[in-house]
Structure 1
Amino acid sequence: MRAPVQKKRPRRTGKQTALAGDPEQTPGMPGTPAAAPVGKGRPTRVRNRLIAAVAVVAAAVAGAGAPSVIAASGQLSDSQGLVTLAGQTQDALTLAHSLADERDEVTSYLAAGRPKNEAPSEQRSTRVDRQVDELRADPDTPARLREDLDGIAAVRRAALTGQSTALQAHQAYSTAITELHKLAEQLAERMPARAGSGAYALAELDTAVQQAAAARGLLLAALNVPYSTQTVINPVTGLPTQTATWSEADTKQRDALSAAAQQARLRSDAALAAFRDTAPQGAKASYDSTVTGPEVDTAEKYLASLTDQPTLSDSELFTGVKRADDALSARVDLMRGAESSLYDRRTKDLAKLRDDDVTSLEIRIALLGGLLLVTIGVATALARTLTRPLAVLRLGSARLAGAVDPAAEEPVKFTGRNDEFAQVVRSVNALHAQAAVLAERVATLEADRKHLVGQRQKMADAREELQAELKESTDRLEQLRAGIGGTFVNLALRTLGLVERQLTVIEGLEDSEQDPDRLSTLFKLDHFATVMRRHSENLLVLAGTEHVQHTAGPVPLVDVVRAAVSEIERYERVRIASLPPHAHVAGFAADDLSHLLAELLENATSFSPPDQPVEVSGWLLESGEVMLSVQDEGIGMPADRMTRLNTRFADFDPESSYDQEGEEGLGLGLYVVARLAHRHGVRVQLREQKQGGTAAVVVVPHSLLVP
């Protein structure tokens, strides 16, 4: 039993905190308790905390503005990186154009059979090497690009001194050129939305220029494939004529070059169309105004006639190489000029974007610095409005607290604003005025306190007596309940014994009786005795005692169901539907399961029309358990009542006593069902049928089934 708890004032510690240096008690207040400890640790000043608060506010302002400054700094870093990348891209594209010209010259040289008088220009190779050295010397050049630049000399050497064909040399050069053009794609991917639209347009234009140059080189190489002449007699005129012939290898090489030229031309046209779809109107107008003129028209005609098929026709084989070279090169140069102009414009736009980011960063830093100064000034001024009245209040309250005679001291004088400090001063003065009155009331309150403590102790003693009586009554009630339970068990066992003897006598009479009418009467008596046996077993279930008469071996499920049907009054209304074949129930649970089903069948026949059958069916679940269903076509029950019953089935407490029929009770039959189901781990649930009536579902677990 818990001891009575008494609310008390804080204990006296035997010492008192001196506020003004004199630890004497107030006159007229004997036994005044020591003041409660105020504050922890060493003494500090409010001024220091206010200074710390000003510093925290300043740090908060700086922290609030820091993300903006950091974001502006990040934008500046990104824009500066874009400017650097744009410059590298222009240098790489210039090198790519020079390398493309060298590629086309080498491709034509190899296709023509490596003639000694038409060797590639060393001046062009020197220019390419110089541009490679300049780009490699740039410290911002990526390591991947440096590796590609180092491989250009090897590509040239393999093309001129190796055994590669013209198409193979063209492809080797194109691989190096493609790596240079990747900078344009990287620049397009890194372009922010604030830089304007058409970020990928220049990358598409760069692809178009690259493929246009490739188509030019491949066509010129195909036209430069050498041929031989021979004299033949014209069968019509009979005169000798000169005809051109190509070897099978030359023909195969020329067809491969012309097919590659056609593919390059298609890729160039597709990239140019993508450029027109994504580029701003100004960029498209700049390109159209640059790439125009009769030379461009002539080049378009050459491309249309020479790349309309994968191979060149007989008439196209003798196209003038010089004129085609001039027209196609003029078109490529104009496209490169338009591309260079657009990249110059983009570089200027990125430089302007970087300058704007610099200005934005400077403005944000200036605003943050000004705001920080204003914040510190305002916070310092506000702190001074707190420290001055606080000093007056501190000195005045210490004087009153340390006074020997509070009445002899003057109240605290305060001439500041009428704010919270003025309110505290008024409160201190009011406390000072009430100190004497409170001292007089202390003695009276102490006497009252002692009286209340005595009364509380009496009430605690009375409560202990009541608790002892309650425990005695509870023990007596438990003894009575145990006696009644024993009586129930004794009576039920006697009744069961008599019923069993009665059934034995009736069965003997049935065996020897030949008259059908008397035999029918004996069958009815047998059935009534069986029902009486089930009711007697209900008494054992109510008393919490198990009937220990078990079957020795496993029992077929159909026999369990039939036994349940035989134990109800209206057994003729029960119809057994399909049951799982070869299903057996363990002997120790067969009688209880039959009893459980009998109670459900009794309820189903009692609460359904007398002319409607009650159906019992069962099936084997995928989990290996057996589900039995008792279905009637009665009036059913309310949904809330069914929910409460299912909850009682699921959470049945075997220690709970039997409750009578009602809204919350289970009733005798369902109480017996709940006890038997809990005893063997059987799950029972009531369900509402769509066609009317109620279905009681019983799930028999693995532990009760015998394979």
Structure 2
Amino acid sequence: MVGVALVGVTVVGAGAPGVLATSADLSESQGLVTLAELNRRAVTLAHSLADERDEVTAYIAAGRGAAAEDGSGAGADRAKPAPPAAHSARVDRQVEEIRAAAPDGLRRTLAGIPSLRRTALAGDGTALAAHRAYTQVIDELRALAARLADRTPARAADGPGRAPAELGQAVEQASATRGLLLAALAVPDRGGSGRTVYDPVSGRYVTEETPGAGVGARVRDELTAAAHRARVREQVSLADFDSTADAAARESLAATVTGPEVKAAEDHLGRLADGPQLSRAERRTDPERLSDALTARIEQMRGVESALATRQVERMERLRDDDVTALELRVALLGGCLLVAIGVSTAVARTLTRPLAVLRLGAARVAAAPESEEPIRFTGRNDEFAQVVRSLNTLHGKLLELGARVARDGGPEAAAELTARHAELRGETERLTAELERQRHGVHHTFVNLSLRTLGLVERQLTVIEKLEEREQDPEQLSTLFKLDHMATVMRRHSENLLILAGHEHAHAHQEPVPLVDVLRAAVSEIERYERVAIESLPQHAYLAGFAADDVSHLLAELLENATSFSPPEKRVRLSGWSLDDGHLILSVRDEGIGIDPERLADLNARLADPALAAEGEGLGLRVAALLAARHGVRVELRAERDGGVRAVVLLPQALLPDAPPTVKPPVMAFAEGMPTVSLPGEAEPGPGAPPAPGAAGEVPADAVGA
């Protein structure tokens, strides 16, 4: 079942990057749907807020009702009433609808609208200052359209792009032009006369105001100049819209913004917004007619803008639905591949284990009491296993026949015949033993091939994950890829364990000696809970023979895996080493777990000393460690600590410790942030809690570890 599990984990690991990428796309598209819906509501609120701004600006320019109260002044007949409360209530209602979904900055700005309104209506600020204060709020609402265009991914690049934002800017400037012109016309004339002169710069006749009308004229000129600038910005935004919008959007705007009212509005704008001042004749323009014409044009432009905002919401919803479908397909494909892989692996495993179980049962029946046992049955196949089963049943029948004959006959002749039959049965047994050995060799060969294929798949999976890590920029996705990379590294070690148990050599020997600290780092990187391992003091300039570096690293990884698995998760596992006077080197793996009882500890040490004593079905890591230690003459011993926990001591013989360092200086490697720092105090200094105690070669000194 280990092979089946490895195949399943390999399939999941291979398909996980694609599922994660599709999930990220879905999360992005859902965020775009939310932003598009927020932008659609913001467009509606911006329209209402612009209407309120224009009314408030004209009301302030008219003197906040002062001209109407005293009935004096030439502008008394144009005095503006206070903006209706219904308009303010509509704005407040729309603000409440958008507040919950708005970003923090925009939410704070919207919360200040009531204060802005009170200051504009009851304060002493100018009309232009109030206009600018309202415009800042509207600009923040308009910024959502630009943000949506910037965040739209390349896979949705067939949409309108920045055209809705450009049209929204044009609509805003058209509304600003309307409000500023109406405010300029609402400024009361407070007496004075002027004369008309020719202006050589503009080529027009202008009226020079007398000093008595200076304040009102200055306010009117400021509002007119601002309206002129807004008109220019509107024309620039419309030109940008024509250059960025698709044909359908341009045709929709051209077909909607048309008619006699639009033509009248264009005529008014051509006269009133073409310069920074209004002539005396232009100041006599009827504000009601001007407002009706400009408002009709603005409402038509707003209709096109709202339609584009709605189209953006629908387009983002389609993009999200496509991403949902893609994620469902990837998950379904991964699940199907996983089921197929597990099914095939299970079927292959059963074809190997079931015949062996039948043969084991038949041999046990023949060896125990054939006269009281039934022959074994093996159906469904007609191959080498079936032939061995038939031979066992034949042997079983002959034993029954021989037993009956012995019971029926007696004397020297029966003894001689029995001896002959015994020799015949011995020959048959030897033949069957050879046949079983051949079958076992076939199973072993299949087991090794399956492990090598799994190891190859894991290596390819690591290559794919490394390429994904190089291209990934998102920190969360990169963290997930690093976890997959580490899981694949652990899977590779487990696959190598299977090869070691099968007696297959797979590690690639290094040509040069390897620094001991690199061997220890490699061992730490191959376990699941690597962050809990602390590397303490090590001998300086210690090297390990290249042919044994991979096996020693693998042996230490198995000991570290056991130490981290059977100790509290908050406790550290400490890895250290020191040299002995006789040239040997000791490595220590110490945990702070609950410890092991003496009887169990003695049994484990016996199994580490002799791999042939390893019990079947348990202690896979210790059996691998014992096999690797026996391969290079390394001694491994477990010892109980006085203060709790277990220390695993590894004695490296002098044959694995070259005298001279390699000719090529090994690269300096740094641990990641948060990993312990390696300390190299001296070539023969022991680590903490490990006094230097010489011992005989090949023998672990009893006092070399704080047992």
TM-score using structure 2 length = 0.47
- Determine which structure has more spread, i.e. the larger CA radius of gyration: 1
